[in-house]
Structure 1
Amino acid sequence: MFDRDFEWSELTRFAALPGRTAILGVISGRRRQGKTFLLDALARASGGFMYTATETTEADALRQFGEALARYRGQPTPFRFAYWDEAVTELMRVAEAGKPTVAVIDEFPFLAKASPALPSVIQRALDPTAQHGNTPVRLLLCGSALSFMGGLLSGSAPLRGRAGLELVVPTLDFRLAGEFWQISDPRTALLVNAIVGGTPAYRREYTQGDTPSGPDDFDAWVTRAVLNPARPLFREARYLLAEEPELHDTALYHSVLAAIAAGNTARGGIADYLGRRSTDLAHPLTVLQDVGMITHEGDAFRRNRSAYRIAEPLVTFYHAVMRPSWGDLERPGRAAAVWRRSASTFRSKVVGPHFEQVCREWARWHAAPDTHGGLVTSVASGVVNDPSARTSHEVDVAVHGERDDGRKALLAIGEAKWSDVMGLGHLERLRRIRGLLIAAGTATEATRLQCYSGAGFTGDLRELAERDGTVQLVDLPRLYHGD
C-alpha cells in the first residue's frame, strides 16, 4: 500500500465503529486508483465479506450474490434470492457474533443499473424502524461511475443522510506519482506524469513495472510501453470512455475531448473546432464533467470566462498524439516513427499545458506561505486585458489568498515555460501585467512575480531574484523537492 494512510485510517475507523445497528459507507473515485485493493485488504484484515458485482441481469446478479454470501457464511448450499429485499435482509445478518463486521459491495453501479430500486431497498433496511433485525454490519458501497456515486447521497436520493462515511479515493499528485514510479530525475518524472498522470494501476498492471531508467530512456519507454499495441496501456484511453455508463454517444464525447486536447479550452473554441453551435455542447460538456473526464475552471480575473481541461493526462496524450496516427500505431514497428514526428505536438499540446497545471498544483499545495507572501486560498489561470496595446495577456499562475494582516489579496502571478530558458524579458512581461492589475485595483506592488521553467533561468534573472524577494524562480527540482 502506497500513500493511502488517510483512506486506510478512515476505513479501519469505520469498520470498528461501535454500535449494534448497521451503518452505511460510500467509496468512490476514478477507475484504477486502488479502491478495490483497499477494500479487499480491509475485508481480509477484518474478516469481512466482499462481493464484486459484474454487469449482468438482476436474476444473475442475485444468483452470484447468493453464492458469494453462502460461501462467506459457510453454508453448504447457495442462497436462492428472488428479490433484493431478501438478499439485503440476509446481508444485514452477517455480523452474527455481535461485533462490527465489514460487508463490501464493489462495482455497486452495475447492480443498481440492473436493479434501479436497490438503493431504496438498502435505505429501507437501514431505516431506524427496521434496524431491530440487523446486526452491526458496516456496509460499504463502492463504484467508479462518479456521476452515479455522486448522486447516491445527494438531493432527494434514497440514501441521502444515511452514510456514516463518504470517502473519495483520489489520484496521486505529481510528486507522489514520481515517488510511486521510483523516478528520481524530476524532468523524466514530469514527462511520465504528463502521459500517465497519477493513476497507480498504470505503474504495475499496465506497464508491468516498466519505468524509464533515466532521461535517455524516456523516448524508448514511450514506444515500448505506451505506443506498443501489445501493451494494455495502448487502448486504455479508449476504454475509459467505453466504461462510463453515462456516455452513450462515445464518438461525440471523443470529439469534444479531442477539441480540448488541441488547445480549445473555451466552449466557443470547442464548438468552432467541431463545427457545431455553442449551445449544442452544453449537455456533453456537463456529462464529461460529471463523470470526471474534464474540469471546468473559472478565470482568475474575469467572472464571465472559464476553461475546460481534461482531467486524465492519458486521455490528453491519446487525443493529441495517438488518435491522429491510430492506423499506423496499430501496425507493429511503426511506434518509433510516429513518436518522432509527434515530438513538437507532444511538447506543445501535452507537456506544456500539463506543466502549467503542475505549477498551479505546486503553488496551491506544496509552496510554503513565504513563497507567496501569505496564506493561499485559490490558484488559477487567467487573462488580463491590455487596452493600450489592444491585446490581452495570459497568466498561467494567479495566486489569491490572505496576507499576514488578514486582508485578501492577489499574492502572486506567474508564467510557466516548459522549453524556454527564462530571462529578464519574461520578468518584464510579468511586471507589465502586474502594472495593469494595479491600475485595475486587483494587485499591489507587493504582488510577487514568479517564473516557472522546465529549462532553467539565465544568470541575470537568477542574480536579480537573489536581490529582490518579490521575484521567485521555480525550476523542476524545486517543484518536486522544494517549497
Structure 2
Amino acid sequence: MLLKPADMFDRDREWAQLADFVEDERPGATLGVVSGRRRQGKSFLLEAVCQQAGGFYFSAQEATEAESLALIGAALTRYLNPVAPVEPRDWPAVLDILLRLGRERPVPVVIDEFPYLARTSPALPSMIQAAYAPRRAERMESRTRLMLCGSAMSFMGKLLSGDAPLRGRASLDLTVHTLDHRAAARFWGLGEPRLALLVHAVVGGTPAYRTEMIRYDVPHDLSDFDAWVARAILSPGSPMFLEARYLLAEEPDLRDGALYHSVLAAIAEGNTGRGGIAGHVGRKSNELAHPLTVLEDAGLVVREQDAFRGNRTDFRINEPLLAFYHAIMRPYWSQLLRGNAADRIWERSQGRFAGSIMGPHFERLCREWALYHSGDRFGDWPAQVASGTVNDPANKTTCQVDVAVLGYADGARPPLLAIGEAKWNDVMGLGHLERLRRIRELLRSSGKYDTSGTRLLCFSGAGFTADLGELAGNGEVELIGLDELYTTD
C-alpha cells in the first residue's frame, strides 16, 4: 500500500485513486490521464507516487521534438543507469522503453506537461494508441502504469473525448481540483470563518498561492486583511500581481487575449447572461459561443442553468483570482503598475469588492454547501442546487432565488427541497423570510414542483434578527451562518 507522504495536505481521494492505479498487479500496461489547472499540486502528487513506488518521472519542456527526445533519453539514462546512454531516435522507441520498465513489476511512469510534447509532435497520441494496442505483445507483457499529465485544460479535456486516438485506452482519468473553501481554510490556517471566506474570495483554493507565490504570508486577523490584500495581491512586487493575466496566457486555445479578458470583465461586472456579455464586449451574441466554450473548457468559466428556467443559462467566473482581477485590479491597472497606490485603490474599491466579489462568491459557497455538505437535512439527498428566477405575474416582476435545492424527480414532479436567500453583509430579518414565503407560493401555484416539503433557508455573513431567530426555533426557517458553512455537514 502506497503511503501518502506526511507533508501532503488533504488530497486523500486523489492519492487513493493514484495508488489503486499504480499498484494494480494484473498483467498488461495501462494508461492514465491526470489534469488540473496549474499550481494545484499535480506534479507534487505524481512525483510523490513515483518516489514511493520506484517509478520514472519526466517533466517535459517547451522544446523541439529532437530536444525533447534527447531530454527524455537523458532522464531514462539517469533512472536506468545503463552501460550506454539511452538515445531514442523517435517516440515509438521511447514508448517501447517505457513499456519495458514494467516487465518485472507494476511501475508508475509519469510524463508531466504532456501538452508541450504533443504541440511539437502532434502524432504522439496516435503513437501511444499504437503502442497500447490491445493484443500487442509489448503491452501485454508489461505492467507499466503510464500517466500523462498536463495543465492546459482545454487540451487535456480533448485527449480522451470523441474520436481522439486515446479514447477508450485510459483506465484512469483524474482531475486535481482546487481545494474547497473548508479545506482551503485549514490549509491557510484560518480558524475565523469570516476571514477565511474573505481570503477565499480573493485567491480561491489554489495551494501554491499560499506557498510558493506569497511565501506563507497569511493575514493575522480581520484587521490585517486590507493590508494583506495591498501587499500580497495589489503590489507589483508580488508574484500574485500578474497571476490572473498568466492564467489566460497559459491556455494555448485562448489566442485572442483581448477578447477573453473582455468576456471575463463583462461577467465580473455582473453580466452573466449571453446577451449581457455580448453587449459589454460589443459583439453579437452568437459570436460569443466559441470564446465562452473555450473559457469553459479551460475551467475558467462555468455554465450554470437556471433552476426554474431550462432555457436560461448564466456564466460565472470559476477562479476567484480572475474575478478579483477584473473587478478590482483591471480598472486601475496603470496606477497599480506604479507601485505606490495599492492602499488607496483598495480603500476606494471596498464597495465594488463587497458587491461584485463578496456577494456573488458568498452565494456560490452557499450553493456548494447545500449540494455537498447538507446531506439529507432537507428530507432527501439534493440532486441539483442552482440559482433561479421565478415570475411574479401579480407584481409584474421576477424574483431571484440564490439557492434552490431540487431532489430527484423519479418520474414525477421534481421535489423542491429548499429555497434560500444569501446575504453577505446584511443582517437578515422577517422581510427576507416573507420574500421566501412568497416565492414558495409562486412555485406551488405553478404546479411544476412538489413543494409539500420545501424548507426556507436564510444564509447570512452578518447575522440574523432576534425575531427571525425565534421563528427558526419553531422550525419555520433554517438559519445558516458562517460557522455552519465551515463546520457542519
TM-score with structure 1 setting the length: 0.96
Measured in 2, the distance between the counterparts of 1:136 and 1:276 equals 53
The partner residue of 1:389 within 395, 408, 431 is: 395
Measured in 1, the distance between the counterparts of 2:137 and 2:404 equals 52
* Aligned-partner residue type, residue 198 of structure 1: G
Measured in 2, the distance between the counterparts of 1:37 and 1:91 equals 21
CA contact (8 A) 1:447 1:470 kept: no
The partner residue of 1:164 within 160, 171, 177 is: 171
Measured in 2, the distance between the counterparts of 1:334 and 1:193 equals 23
Deviates more, 1:87-96 or 1:130-139: 130-139
Q: Which residue of 1 aligns with 2:88?
A: 81
Tell whether 2:193 aligns with 1:186. Answer: yes
SS at match of 1:388: helix
The aligned length equals 480
Q: Which residue of 1 aligns with 2:181?
A: 174
Tell whether 2:208 aligns with 1:201. Answer: yes
Measured in 2, the distance between the counterparts of 1:78 and 1:285 equals 48
CA contact (8 A) 2:218 2:228 kept: yes
Measured in 2, the distance between the counterparts of 1:80 and 1:403 equals 60
The percent identity for this pair of structures is 57
Q: 1:164: how far off?
A: 1.6
The partner residue of 2:287 within 280, 284, 287 is: 280
CA contact (8 A) 2:76 2:86 kept: yes
Q: 1:402: how far off?
A: 4.8
CA contact (8 A) 1:73 1:94 kept: no
Q: Which residue of 2 aligns with 1:151?
A: 158
CA contact (8 A) 2:409 2:415 kept: yes
Measured in 2, the distance between the counterparts of 1:33 and 1:122 equals 26
Q: Which residue of 1 aligns with 2:5?
A: none
Q: Which residue of 2 aligns with 1:247?
A: 254
* Aligned-partner residue type, residue 485 of structure 2: L
CA contact (8 A) 2:214 2:232 kept: yes
Q: Which residue of 2 aligns with 1:366?
A: 373
The partner residue of 2:54 within 28, 43, 47 is: 47
The partner residue of 1:263 within 258, 267, 270 is: 270
**1:43-442 matches, cutoff 5 A:** 43-75=50-82, 77-96=84-103, 98-132=104-138, 135-370=142-377, 372-402=378-408, 408-441=414-447, 442=449
Tell whether 2:466 aligns with 1:459. Answer: yes
The partner residue of 2:482 within 465, 476, 480 is: 476
1:164 to 1:403, Cα distance in 2 relative to 1, 3 A: closer
SS at match of 1:18: coil
Measured in 2, the distance between the counterparts of 1:332 and 1:151 equals 41
SS at match of 1:128: coil
Runs of 5+ consecutive residues of structure 1 not aligned to the other structure = none
Measured in 2, the distance between the counterparts of 1:279 and 1:78 equals 56
Measured in 2, the distance between the counterparts of 1:229 and 1:18 equals 51
SS at match of 2:385: strand
Measured in 1, the distance between the counterparts of 2:476 and 2:125 equals 55
The two structures, once aligned, show a CA RMSD in angstroms of 1.7
Q: 1:443: how far off?
A: 4.7
CA contact (8 A) 1:126 1:162 kept: yes
SS at match of 1:434: helix
CA contact (8 A) 1:22 1:131 kept: no
Runs of 5+ consecutive residues of structure 2 not aligned to the other structure = 1-7
SS at match of 1:412: strand
SS at match of 2:382: strand
1:56 to 1:264, Cα distance in 2 relative to 1, 3 A: same
The partner residue of 1:11 within 18, 21, 31 is: 18
* Aligned-partner residue type, residue 331 of structure 2: P
TM-score with structure 2 setting the length: 0.95
Q: Which residue of 1 aligns with 2:3?
A: none
Deviates more, 1:269-278 or 1:187-196: 269-278
Measured in 2, the distance between the counterparts of 1:447 and 1:232 equals 47
Q: 1:433: how far off?
A: 0.9
* Aligned-partner residue type, residue 178 of structure 1: A
Measured in 2, the distance between the counterparts of 1:392 and 1:407 equals 22
Q: Deviations over 1:194-234 (max 9, x none)?
A: 01111111111111111111111111111111111111111
Q: 1:128: how far off?
A: 2.6
SS at match of 1:477: helix
Q: 1:3: how far off?
A: 1.1
Q: 1:155: how far off?
A: 1.5
Measured in 1, the distance between the counterparts of 2:374 and 2:20 equals 31
SS at match of 1:375: coil
